[in-house]
Structure 1
Amino acid sequence: MTAPRQATIHRATSETDIAIALTLDGTGTAKVETGIGFFDHMLTALAKHGLFDLDVAVRGDLHIDGHHTVEDTGIALGQAFKQALGDKRGVRRFGQALIPLDEALCEAVVDLSGRPFLAFNARFDRDRIGELDTELVEEFFRAFAMAGMLTLHLNQKAGQNCHHIAEAAFKALARALRMAAEPDPRAGSAIPSTKGVL
Protein backbone atom coordinates (compact mmCIF):
# COMPACT_ATOMS: atom_id res chain seq x y z
CA MET A 1 0.00 0.00 0.00
CA THR A 2 2.90 2.34 -0.68
CA ALA A 3 1.49 3.67 -3.95
CA PRO A 4 -0.66 6.80 -3.57
CA ARG A 5 -4.30 5.87 -3.18
CA GLN A 6 -5.80 8.43 -5.52
CA ALA A 7 -8.51 8.67 -8.12
CA THR A 8 -9.83 11.12 -10.67
CA ILE A 9 -13.32 10.79 -12.09
CA HIS A 10 -15.02 12.76 -14.83
CA ARG A 11 -18.70 11.97 -15.27
CA ALA A 12 -20.67 13.87 -17.90
CA THR A 13 -24.32 13.38 -18.79
CA SER A 14 -27.01 15.59 -20.30
CA GLU A 15 -27.89 16.59 -16.71
CA THR A 16 -24.55 17.04 -14.95
CA ASP A 17 -20.84 17.45 -15.58
CA ILE A 18 -18.75 16.33 -12.60
CA ALA A 19 -15.00 16.28 -12.00
CA ILE A 20 -13.63 14.73 -8.81
CA ALA A 21 -10.08 14.26 -7.57
CA LEU A 22 -9.64 12.20 -4.39
CA THR A 23 -6.65 11.27 -2.26
CA LEU A 24 -7.48 8.79 0.51
CA ASP A 25 -4.33 9.42 2.56
CA GLY A 26 -4.66 13.17 2.68
CA THR A 27 -4.95 15.94 5.23
CA GLY A 28 -8.62 16.83 4.94
CA THR A 29 -8.21 19.58 2.36
CA ALA A 30 -11.31 20.20 0.27
CA LYS A 31 -12.34 22.40 -2.62
CA VAL A 32 -16.01 21.80 -3.36
CA GLU A 33 -18.28 23.64 -5.79
CA THR A 34 -21.62 21.96 -6.51
CA GLY A 35 -23.85 24.99 -6.72
CA ILE A 36 -25.69 23.92 -3.55
CA GLY A 37 -24.16 25.63 -0.54
CA PHE A 38 -25.23 23.20 2.17
CA PHE A 39 -24.15 20.22 0.06
CA ASP A 40 -20.73 21.87 -0.35
CA HIS A 41 -20.60 22.18 3.44
CA MET A 42 -21.38 18.46 3.88
CA LEU A 43 -18.77 17.28 1.36
CA THR A 44 -16.19 19.57 2.95
CA ALA A 45 -16.98 17.99 6.33
CA LEU A 46 -16.66 14.53 4.77
CA ALA A 47 -13.15 15.36 3.55
CA LYS A 48 -12.09 17.09 6.76
CA HIS A 49 -13.14 14.33 9.15
CA GLY A 50 -12.11 11.49 6.86
CA LEU A 51 -8.70 13.12 6.25
CA PHE A 52 -9.32 12.80 2.52
CA ASP A 53 -8.14 15.42 0.05
CA LEU A 54 -11.09 16.17 -2.18
CA ASP A 55 -11.66 18.41 -5.18
CA VAL A 56 -15.23 18.45 -6.52
CA ALA A 57 -16.50 20.62 -9.38
CA VAL A 58 -20.09 20.13 -10.52
CA ARG A 59 -22.19 21.81 -13.18
CA GLY A 60 -25.74 20.54 -12.85
CA ASP A 61 -29.25 21.35 -14.01
CA LEU A 62 -30.13 23.29 -10.87
CA HIS A 63 -32.77 25.23 -12.81
CA ILE A 64 -34.79 21.99 -12.52
CA ASP A 65 -33.87 21.02 -8.96
CA GLY A 66 -30.94 19.59 -7.02
CA HIS A 67 -31.70 15.91 -7.51
CA HIS A 68 -29.40 15.16 -10.45
CA THR A 69 -26.55 17.21 -8.98
CA VAL A 70 -26.64 15.45 -5.61
CA GLU A 71 -27.26 11.92 -6.88
CA ASP A 72 -24.68 12.13 -9.66
CA THR A 73 -22.10 13.57 -7.27
CA GLY A 74 -22.74 10.57 -5.02
CA ILE A 75 -22.20 8.23 -7.97
CA ALA A 76 -18.96 9.93 -9.03
CA LEU A 77 -17.61 10.10 -5.48
CA GLY A 78 -18.42 6.43 -4.92
CA GLN A 79 -16.58 5.57 -8.13
CA ALA A 80 -13.61 7.61 -6.95
CA PHE A 81 -13.45 5.78 -3.60
CA LYS A 82 -13.70 2.41 -5.33
CA GLN A 83 -10.92 3.35 -7.75
CA ALA A 84 -8.65 4.76 -5.04
CA LEU A 85 -9.05 1.66 -2.86
CA GLY A 86 -7.88 -0.64 -5.66
CA ASP A 87 -8.05 -4.31 -4.66
CA LYS A 88 -8.29 -3.29 -0.96
CA ARG A 89 -5.21 -5.19 0.11
CA GLY A 90 -4.20 -4.52 3.69
CA VAL A 91 -7.16 -2.31 4.65
CA ARG A 92 -9.24 -2.75 7.79
CA ARG A 93 -12.37 -3.19 5.62
CA PHE A 94 -14.85 -2.41 8.42
CA GLY A 95 -15.40 0.99 10.00
CA GLN A 96 -17.85 2.53 12.38
CA ALA A 97 -18.42 5.89 14.03
CA LEU A 98 -20.96 7.40 16.39
CA ILE A 99 -20.85 11.18 16.05
CA PRO A 100 -22.70 13.84 18.06
CA LEU A 101 -23.51 17.36 16.97
CA ASP A 102 -25.22 19.12 19.84
CA GLU A 103 -28.55 17.28 20.33
CA ALA A 104 -28.09 15.12 17.21
CA LEU A 105 -26.35 11.75 17.24
CA CYS A 106 -25.72 9.66 14.12
CA GLU A 107 -24.01 6.32 13.56
CA ALA A 108 -22.37 5.06 10.38
CA VAL A 109 -21.14 1.51 9.86
CA VAL A 110 -19.22 0.64 6.69
CA ASP A 111 -18.08 -2.60 5.09
CA LEU A 112 -15.91 -2.30 1.97
CA SER A 113 -17.50 -5.56 0.93
CA GLY A 114 -17.92 -5.19 -2.80
CA ARG A 115 -21.65 -5.68 -2.16
CA PRO A 116 -23.53 -2.38 -2.41
CA PHE A 117 -26.26 -1.78 0.14
CA LEU A 118 -27.71 1.16 2.06
CA ALA A 119 -29.78 0.98 5.24
CA PHE A 120 -30.84 4.54 6.08
CA ASN A 121 -32.73 5.58 9.18
CA ALA A 122 -32.89 9.33 9.68
CA ARG A 123 -35.82 11.73 9.92
CA PHE A 124 -36.06 15.30 8.72
CA ASP A 125 -39.08 17.35 9.72
CA ARG A 126 -38.61 20.04 7.10
CA ASP A 127 -38.20 19.92 3.34
CA ARG A 128 -35.00 21.91 2.90
CA ILE A 129 -31.73 22.80 4.62
CA GLY A 130 -30.55 25.92 2.85
CA GLU A 131 -30.87 25.04 -0.83
CA LEU A 132 -30.67 21.26 -0.29
CA ASP A 133 -33.85 19.19 -0.34
CA THR A 134 -33.64 16.98 2.73
CA GLU A 135 -34.84 13.92 0.80
CA LEU A 136 -31.62 14.18 -1.22
CA VAL A 137 -29.49 13.34 1.81
CA GLU A 138 -30.60 9.70 1.53
CA GLU A 139 -30.24 9.83 -2.26
CA PHE A 140 -26.60 10.90 -1.91
CA PHE A 141 -25.76 8.12 0.54
CA ARG A 142 -27.50 5.53 -1.66
CA ALA A 143 -25.70 6.65 -4.82
CA PHE A 144 -22.37 6.70 -2.98
CA ALA A 145 -22.83 3.20 -1.52
CA MET A 146 -24.01 1.68 -4.82
CA ALA A 147 -21.22 3.19 -6.94
CA GLY A 148 -18.61 2.60 -4.25
CA MET A 149 -19.62 -1.07 -3.94
CA LEU A 150 -19.84 -0.85 -0.15
CA THR A 151 -22.35 -1.63 2.56
CA LEU A 152 -23.45 1.40 4.56
CA HIS A 153 -25.76 1.48 7.57
CA LEU A 154 -26.62 5.02 8.64
CA ASN A 155 -28.76 5.53 11.74
CA GLN A 156 -29.97 8.64 13.51
CA LYS A 157 -29.92 7.96 17.26
CA ALA A 158 -31.14 11.40 18.38
CA GLY A 159 -31.77 14.89 17.09
CA GLN A 160 -34.35 17.50 16.12
CA ASN A 161 -32.36 20.12 14.22
CA CYS A 162 -32.16 19.06 10.55
CA HIS A 163 -28.83 20.80 9.94
CA HIS A 164 -27.32 18.99 12.92
CA ILE A 165 -28.74 15.60 11.89
CA ALA A 166 -27.41 15.82 8.33
CA GLU A 167 -24.01 17.08 9.43
CA ALA A 168 -23.64 14.39 12.08
CA ALA A 169 -24.50 11.77 9.43
CA PHE A 170 -21.86 13.04 7.00
CA LYS A 171 -19.23 13.27 9.74
CA ALA A 172 -20.08 9.75 10.91
CA LEU A 173 -19.64 8.47 7.36
CA ALA A 174 -16.31 10.29 7.14
CA ARG A 175 -14.93 8.67 10.28
CA ALA A 176 -16.27 5.22 9.39
CA LEU A 177 -14.73 5.42 5.90
CA ARG A 178 -11.45 6.61 7.35
CA MET A 179 -11.34 3.60 9.67
CA ALA A 180 -12.36 1.10 6.98
CA ALA A 181 -9.85 2.40 4.43
CA GLU A 182 -6.91 2.60 6.86
CA PRO A 183 -4.02 0.16 6.48
CA ASP A 184 -4.20 -2.64 9.03
CA PRO A 185 -0.64 -3.15 10.29
CA ARG A 186 -1.36 -6.78 11.20
CA ALA A 187 -2.85 -7.61 7.79
CA GLY A 188 0.17 -6.85 5.64
CA SER A 189 -0.88 -7.05 2.00
CA ALA A 190 -3.65 -9.58 2.58
CA ILE A 191 -7.12 -9.02 1.20
CA PRO A 192 -9.45 -9.00 4.23
CA SER A 193 -11.86 -11.67 3.03
CA THR A 194 -12.04 -15.46 3.24
CA LYS A 195 -12.96 -15.35 -0.47
CA GLY A 196 -9.61 -13.75 -1.32
CA VAL A 197 -11.33 -10.89 -3.16
CA LEU A 198 -13.44 -7.87 -2.25
Structure 2
Amino acid sequence: MTERKASLKRKTNETNIALALNIDGEGKSDIKTDVPFMTHMLDLFTKHGHFDLTVEGRGDVDIDGHHTTEDIGIVLGQALLEALGDKKGIKRYGNAFVPMDEALAQVTVDLSNRPHLVMNAEFPAERVGNFDVELVHEFLWKLAIEARMNLHVNVHYGFNTHHMIEAVFKALGRALDEATQIDPRVKGVPSTKGML
Protein backbone atom coordinates (compact mmCIF):
# COMPACT_ATOMS: atom_id res chain seq x y z
CA MET A 1 0.00 0.00 0.00
CA THR A 2 1.22 3.50 -0.81
CA GLU A 3 2.22 5.47 2.24
CA ARG A 4 -0.52 7.89 3.18
CA LYS A 5 1.52 10.83 4.38
CA ALA A 6 1.73 14.56 3.77
CA SER A 7 4.00 17.38 4.94
CA LEU A 8 2.90 20.96 4.42
CA LYS A 9 3.84 24.48 5.45
CA ARG A 10 1.86 27.70 5.59
CA LYS A 11 3.57 31.00 6.30
CA THR A 12 1.68 34.29 6.43
CA ASN A 13 2.21 37.65 8.09
CA GLU A 14 0.22 36.23 11.02
CA THR A 15 1.37 32.62 11.38
CA ASN A 16 4.04 30.09 10.53
CA ILE A 17 2.75 26.50 10.46
CA ALA A 18 4.68 23.33 9.59
CA LEU A 19 2.77 20.05 9.78
CA ALA A 20 3.40 16.40 8.92
CA LEU A 21 0.66 13.76 9.01
CA ASN A 22 0.83 9.99 8.63
CA ILE A 23 -2.65 8.48 8.48
CA ASP A 24 -1.34 4.98 9.10
CA GLY A 25 0.59 5.83 12.21
CA GLU A 26 0.80 4.69 15.80
CA GLY A 27 -0.69 7.65 17.64
CA LYS A 28 2.62 9.47 18.01
CA SER A 29 2.52 13.23 18.31
CA ASP A 30 5.04 16.03 18.48
CA ILE A 31 2.90 19.14 18.83
CA LYS A 32 4.38 22.55 19.57
CA THR A 33 2.08 25.55 19.25
CA ASP A 34 1.65 28.96 20.83
CA VAL A 35 -1.87 27.93 21.88
CA PRO A 36 -1.42 25.41 24.72
CA PHE A 37 -5.04 24.23 24.79
CA MET A 38 -4.89 23.42 21.04
CA THR A 39 -1.60 21.61 21.60
CA HIS A 40 -3.39 19.44 24.17
CA MET A 41 -6.41 18.83 21.90
CA LEU A 42 -4.25 17.90 18.89
CA ASP A 43 -2.29 15.48 21.05
CA LEU A 44 -5.57 13.77 22.04
CA PHE A 45 -6.81 13.78 18.44
CA THR A 46 -3.60 12.08 17.30
CA LYS A 47 -3.59 9.44 20.01
CA HIS A 48 -7.21 8.45 19.51
CA GLY A 49 -6.97 8.54 15.71
CA HIS A 50 -3.83 6.37 15.66
CA PHE A 51 -2.20 8.94 13.38
CA ASP A 52 1.31 10.29 13.58
CA LEU A 53 1.24 14.07 13.67
CA THR A 54 3.93 16.71 13.97
CA VAL A 55 2.94 20.35 14.26
CA GLU A 56 5.07 23.44 14.71
CA GLY A 57 2.61 26.30 14.98
CA ARG A 58 3.60 29.88 15.77
CA GLY A 59 1.50 32.98 15.42
CA ASP A 60 0.46 36.39 16.66
CA VAL A 61 -0.85 35.16 20.00
CA ASP A 62 -0.11 38.58 21.46
CA ILE A 63 -3.38 39.48 19.68
CA ASP A 64 -5.15 36.18 20.42
CA GLY A 65 -5.08 32.51 19.41
CA HIS A 66 -7.44 32.91 16.47
CA HIS A 67 -5.00 33.00 13.55
CA THR A 68 -2.83 30.17 14.85
CA THR A 69 -5.80 27.91 15.58
CA GLU A 70 -7.45 28.69 12.25
CA ASP A 71 -4.29 28.11 10.23
CA ILE A 72 -3.54 24.82 11.95
CA GLY A 73 -7.04 23.70 10.93
CA ILE A 74 -6.35 24.78 7.35
CA VAL A 75 -3.03 22.97 7.10
CA LEU A 76 -4.26 19.82 8.86
CA GLY A 77 -7.22 19.65 6.47
CA GLN A 78 -4.96 20.10 3.44
CA ALA A 79 -2.59 17.41 4.74
CA LEU A 80 -5.45 14.97 5.32
CA LEU A 81 -6.77 15.53 1.81
CA GLU A 82 -3.32 15.08 0.26
CA ALA A 83 -2.47 12.00 2.33
CA LEU A 84 -5.73 10.29 1.33
CA GLY A 85 -4.83 10.55 -2.35
CA ASP A 86 -7.52 9.11 -4.63
CA LYS A 87 -9.39 7.64 -1.63
CA LYS A 88 -9.66 4.23 -3.27
CA GLY A 89 -10.63 1.49 -0.86
CA ILE A 90 -11.42 3.69 2.13
CA LYS A 91 -14.46 3.16 4.31
CA ARG A 92 -15.35 6.84 3.74
CA TYR A 93 -17.70 7.16 6.73
CA GLY A 94 -16.80 7.25 10.40
CA ASN A 95 -18.74 7.77 13.61
CA ALA A 96 -17.61 7.91 17.23
CA PHE A 97 -19.21 8.61 20.57
CA VAL A 98 -16.82 9.60 23.34
CA PRO A 99 -17.79 10.20 26.97
CA MET A 100 -15.59 12.41 29.13
CA ASP A 101 -16.82 12.29 32.69
CA GLU A 102 -20.21 14.08 32.59
CA ALA A 103 -19.92 15.05 28.90
CA LEU A 104 -20.80 13.07 25.78
CA ALA A 105 -19.73 14.04 22.27
CA GLN A 106 -20.41 12.44 18.91
CA VAL A 107 -18.50 13.12 15.70
CA THR A 108 -19.60 11.75 12.33
CA VAL A 109 -17.59 12.22 9.14
CA ASP A 110 -18.00 11.55 5.45
CA LEU A 111 -14.86 11.94 3.33
CA SER A 112 -17.13 12.88 0.47
CA ASN A 113 -15.26 15.72 -1.23
CA ARG A 114 -18.29 17.86 -0.30
CA PRO A 115 -17.20 20.03 2.63
CA HIS A 116 -19.74 20.96 5.26
CA LEU A 117 -19.76 21.49 9.01
CA VAL A 118 -22.74 21.05 11.31
CA MET A 119 -21.96 21.71 14.95
CA ASN A 120 -24.42 21.44 17.80
CA ALA A 121 -22.73 22.36 21.05
CA GLU A 122 -23.60 24.71 23.86
CA PHE A 123 -20.47 25.31 25.88
CA PRO A 124 -21.13 26.81 29.33
CA ALA A 125 -17.93 28.88 29.38
CA GLU A 126 -16.50 31.30 26.83
CA ARG A 127 -12.91 30.48 27.77
CA VAL A 128 -10.91 27.50 29.00
CA GLY A 129 -7.84 29.01 30.58
CA ASN A 130 -6.80 31.63 28.01
CA PHE A 131 -8.37 29.75 25.09
CA ASP A 132 -11.43 31.26 23.41
CA VAL A 133 -13.98 28.46 23.12
CA GLU A 134 -15.41 29.90 19.87
CA LEU A 135 -12.13 28.83 18.22
CA VAL A 136 -13.25 25.18 18.39
CA HIS A 137 -15.83 25.97 15.70
CA GLU A 138 -13.26 27.98 13.73
CA PHE A 139 -10.78 25.08 13.75
CA LEU A 140 -13.38 22.45 12.78
CA TRP A 141 -14.85 24.64 10.04
CA LYS A 142 -11.48 25.20 8.39
CA LEU A 143 -10.55 21.53 8.81
CA ALA A 144 -13.78 20.41 7.12
CA ILE A 145 -13.38 22.84 4.23
CA GLU A 146 -9.75 22.01 3.50
CA ALA A 147 -10.13 18.24 3.97
CA ARG A 148 -13.28 18.45 1.82
CA MET A 149 -15.23 16.41 4.31
CA ASN A 150 -18.72 16.46 5.72
CA LEU A 151 -18.28 16.88 9.46
CA HIS A 152 -21.05 16.68 12.04
CA VAL A 153 -20.26 17.43 15.68
CA ASN A 154 -22.82 16.96 18.42
CA VAL A 155 -22.13 17.53 22.09
CA HIS A 156 -25.12 15.82 23.62
CA TYR A 157 -24.57 17.11 27.14
CA GLY A 158 -22.03 18.22 29.68
CA PHE A 159 -21.33 21.08 32.05
CA ASN A 160 -17.53 21.23 32.10
CA THR A 161 -16.40 23.01 28.93
CA HIS A 162 -12.94 21.43 28.99
CA HIS A 163 -14.45 17.94 29.18
CA MET A 164 -16.90 18.71 26.36
CA ILE A 165 -14.20 19.96 23.98
CA GLU A 166 -11.87 17.12 24.89
CA ALA A 167 -14.59 14.61 24.06
CA VAL A 168 -15.03 16.31 20.65
CA PHE A 169 -11.36 16.01 19.73
CA LYS A 170 -11.11 12.40 20.86
CA ALA A 171 -14.25 11.54 18.91
CA LEU A 172 -12.90 13.40 15.86
CA GLY A 173 -9.75 11.28 15.91
CA ARG A 174 -11.72 8.06 16.27
CA ALA A 175 -14.24 8.94 13.56
CA LEU A 176 -11.48 9.85 11.11
CA ASP A 177 -9.59 6.69 11.99
CA GLU A 178 -12.65 4.66 11.01
CA ALA A 179 -13.35 6.65 7.83
CA THR A 180 -9.76 6.46 6.55
CA GLN A 181 -9.39 2.70 7.07
CA ILE A 182 -8.93 0.57 3.98
CA ASP A 183 -11.76 -1.93 3.49
CA PRO A 184 -10.64 -4.81 1.23
CA ARG A 185 -14.25 -5.22 0.06
CA VAL A 186 -14.27 -1.75 -1.48
CA LYS A 187 -13.21 -1.76 -5.11
CA GLY A 188 -12.25 1.69 -6.31
CA VAL A 189 -13.89 4.56 -4.47
CA PRO A 190 -16.92 4.02 -2.22
CA SER A 191 -19.42 5.94 -4.33
CA THR A 192 -21.94 5.03 -7.03
CA LYS A 193 -20.71 8.14 -8.87
CA GLY A 194 -17.36 6.46 -9.50
CA MET A 195 -15.52 9.29 -7.82
CA LEU A 196 -15.48 11.32 -4.61
The normalised TM-score by structure 1 is: 0.97
- What is the identity, as a one-letter code, of the residue corresponding to 1:169? V
Give the 5 Å matches for 1:164-179: 164-179=163-178
1:159 corresponds to 2:158:
yes
Whole-Å separation in 1 of the counterparts to 2:21 and 2:49: 12
User: 1:131: Cα distance to partner?
Assistant: 2.3
Three-state SS of the structure 2 residue aligned to 1:108 is strand
Post-superposition Cα deviations, 1:139-174, rounded to whole Å, max 9, x if no partner, equal 100010001000000001110000000000001111
The separation in 1 between residues aligned to 2:8 and 2:31, in whole angstroms, is 14
Q: Which amino acid aligns with 2:191?
A: S
SS for the counterpart of 1:27 is: coil
Structure 2 CA distance for aligned equivalents of residues 60 and 27 of structure 1: 28
Q: Distance between the aligned counterparts of 1:171 and 1:69, measured in 2?
A: 20
Alignment of 1:172-191 (within 5 A): 172-188=171-187, 190-191=188-189
**Residue 66 (structure 1) aligns with:** 65
- Aligned position for 1:11: 10
1:1-198 pair list within 5 angstroms: 2-188=1-187, 190-198=188-196
Distance 1:139 1:102 in 2: 25
Partners of 1:175 and 1:97 in 2: how far apart?
Answer: 6
Local SS of the residue matching 1:177 = helix
How many residues matched? Answer: 196
Distance in structure 1 (CA, Å) of the matches to 2:36 and 2:14: 19
Q: Secondary structure at the match of 2:99?
A: strand
Partner Cα separation in structure 2 for residue 86 and residue 21 of structure 1: 15
Instruction: Report runs of 4+ in structure 1 exceeding 6 Å deviation.
Output: none
TM-score by length of 2: 0.98
Secondary structure in 2 matching 1:109: strand
AA aligned to 2:43 is: T
Query: What's the offset of the Cα at 1:132?
Result: 1.3
Q: Percent identity?
A: 52
Q: Distance in 2 between matches of 1:149 and 1:161?
A: 31
1:63-112 deviations in Å (ceiling 9; x for gaps): 11111010110000000000000010000000000110010000000000
Partners of 1:52 and 1:41 lie apart in 2 by 15
Q: Over the residues paired in the alignment, what is the CA RMSD in angstroms?
A: 0.7
CA contact (8 A) 1:37 1:130 kept: no
Q: Distance in 2 between matches of 1:37 and 1:3?
A: 34
Report if aligned partners of 1:22, 1:54 keep a CA contact under 8 Å in 2. Answer: yes
Structure 2 CA distance for aligned equivalents of residues 195 and 81 of structure 1: 22
- Residue identity matched to 1:61: D
Which segment drifts farther, 86-95 or 128-137? Answer: 128-137
Task: Report SS of the residue matched to 1:174.
Answer: helix
Gaps of 5+ in 1: none
